[in-house]
Each structure stands twice: as structure tokens, then as C-alpha cells.
């Protein structure tokens, strides 16, 4: 849409562009507004418009000039209600689009574990369980890089607390598909952590097949993202004896996979 500022000092004709976050799990409640000068493409004003009619600066953007800041201030002050309604409608449409198209917000990072629900928001199979009368759930995360030989799922355990919005994690556990590695991992657990893990396995007996299927899904979407993302070469690396083992066990290389290789 086009937008003309009526003030004499701001007589330029701008094209108003609006951009939205498509991540359905992100409660951002804002829209990125960009004013592009039709006569001077280098003259662009961009800022975050919050739905409570305040504005914020965009990261990694040049500071607005005094005149540009005044333009933004006047725009928000005189913002018609119907235009704000349009922004909110497009915001919800963008979230709905993201729920069906996760690749619109996912970023391919070779070494990063990514939450499965973030990759597949329409999946409703959660890892909920109870232990000693308390409710818990586990978030399972995976490496998306299809070139990665690491076959693990990283689990983050949470205790359900209906009185708090911010729920701290109880502990993090690396699930190895290799049973021997998993047994080694279990030796580092406290009694409480081990009890939670036992209850998760008991109440969801198909857990191994779930992780196997989800790892396959994660690698598939990683393959798709690799086609459009910045190239990330998989560099050969010779691990040093005292660095953490790449298998995710949390142990030093010399006390983990180095022993198996030897």
C-alpha cells in the first residue's frame, strides 16, 4: 500500500510494506513496518510496530534520523483503527501459514538441536507422564543435518507448573539409539533423574520407535532446508583427547568413543 505524509516537511510518497513472524510458537505481537521512498530507494524507514501502539528499533539497523523518528512518531499517533485491525489480521494469517509451512521460519544450523514440535507444529503427540503424583513432560530435540552420523535425541524434562508461565527445566538427557551408549549415559543420572526416565519409558513404551521416526523426520526437513540455506560445509575434524565427545555423552573423547575405537 502507499502512504503519503501530509506534513509539509514530509511531502514524500512512501510505499508501506508490512512483514510478520510466521513462527506459531512465537508470541511476538508486532509487525515490521517499512516505508520505502518511491523516488529514492536508499531512503527507507523500518521499525517494529507493537500492537499496543508503541514502536521499537530493529536489531542491526541504523539509528533513525531526527526527521525519520518524527515520521514514525506521527504515523503511530495518527494510525487509523482499521489499519491496525488489518495488521492484526495479517499477523494471525502469518501464524497460520507458519503452522503449515515450518520452513518459513526454521533456520538450518548443522550442530544445533531443534525442538521437534518447532519443526512439526501440527504434531499433537506430546511426551507427557506422571511421577510420584506430579505431572511432567519431555521436549525432544534433534540435529537436522542429514550428513550428521550422530544418532541421538536430546530430551529436556520439565515439571508442569500451572501457577507459572516460565517453567524451568528439571534436567537434560541425551538419548542414544545405541543401547550401550545409553547405559553409559544413565550412569551419570541422579536417583531422581533416573526415576523420571524410568517413568517416561514405562508410560510411553513405544518411545524408541517414536525417537527413530522423529529423527528421520528431522533429517528430512534438514535436507529440504539445505537446498535454500547458506551453505554449511561439513568439515572433517580430528577430536582431541580432552575435548567433549561428539556423540553427545558429555564425557571427554578419551573416556568415551576413543576407547571403543581402540
pLDDT at 12 over 70: no
For 177-200, what is the mean pLDDT? 94
Grid cell at residue 204 = 510411553
Mean pLDDT, residues 220-227 taken together: 92
Residue 162 has pLDDT above 90, yes or no: no
> Cβ(107)–Cβ(119) under 8 Å?
no
Span 46-60, average pLDDT: 91
pLDDT-derived band at 188, boundaries 50, 70, 90 = very high
Report residue 148's pLDDT band, with 50, 70 and 90 as the boundaries. Answer: confident
Which pLDDT score is estimated for 26? 92
* CB of 44 closer than 8 Å to CB of 36: yes
Q: Across all residues in the chain, what is the average pLDDT?
A: 85
pLDDT of residue 260: 44
Mean pLDDT of 118-124: 93
Grid coordinates representing 44 are 527507507
> Phi first, then psi: what are they for 156, rounded to 5°?
-120, 120
Mean per-residue pLDDT, 117-122: 94
- Return the pLDDT at 10: 56
Q: Where are the beta strands (DSSP E) in the chain?
A: 2-4, 13-19, 30-37, 44-50, 55-56, 113-115, 127-131, 134-143, 152-159, 169-176
Amino acid at each position: 500500500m502507499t502512504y503519503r505524509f501530509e506534513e509539509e516537511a514530509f511531502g514524500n510518497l512512501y510505499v508501506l510494506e508490512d512483514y510478520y513472524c510466521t513462527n506459531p510458537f512465537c508470541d511476538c505481537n508486532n509487525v515490521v513496518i517499512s516505508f520505502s521512498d518511491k523516488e529514492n530507494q536508499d531512503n527507507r524507514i523500518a521499525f517494529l510496530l507493537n500492537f499496543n501502539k508503541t514502536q521499537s528499533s530493529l536489531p542491526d539497523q541504523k539509528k533513525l534520523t531526527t526527521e525519520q523518528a518524527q515520521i514514525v512518531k506521527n504515523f503511530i499517533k495518527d494510525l487509523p483503527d482499521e489499519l491496525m485491525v488489518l495488521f492484526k489480521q495479517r499477523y494471525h494469517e502469518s501464524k497460520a501459514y507458519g503452522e503449515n509451512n515450518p520452513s518459513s521460519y526454521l533456520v538450518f544450523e548443522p550442530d544445533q538441536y531443534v525442538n521437534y514440535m518447532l519443526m512439526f507444529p501440527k504434531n499433537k503427540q506430546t511426551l507427557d507422564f506422571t511421577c510420584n503424583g506430579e505431572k511432567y513432560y519431555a521436549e525432544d530435540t534433534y540435529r537436522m543435518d542429514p550428513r550428521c552420523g550422530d544418532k541421538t535425541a536430546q530430551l529436556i524434562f520439565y515439571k508442569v507448573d500451572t501457577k507459572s508461565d516460565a517453567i524451568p527445566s528439571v534436567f537434560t538427557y541425551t538419548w542414544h539409539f545405541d543401547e550401550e551408549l545409553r547405559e553409559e549415559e544413565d550412569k551419570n543420572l541422579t536417583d531422581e533423574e533416573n526415576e523420571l526416565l524410568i517413568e517416561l519409558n514405562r508410560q510411553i513404551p513405544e518411545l524408541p520407535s517414536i525417537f527413530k521416526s522423529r529423527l528421520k523426520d528431522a533429517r528430512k526437513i534438514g535436507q529440504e532446508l539445505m537446498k535454500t540455506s547458506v551453505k554449511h560445509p561439513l568439515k572433517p575434524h580430528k577430536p582431541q583427547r580432552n575435548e567433549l565427545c561428539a556423540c553427545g555423552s558429555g564425557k571427554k573423547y578419551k573416556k568415551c568413543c576413543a576407547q571403543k575405537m581402540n
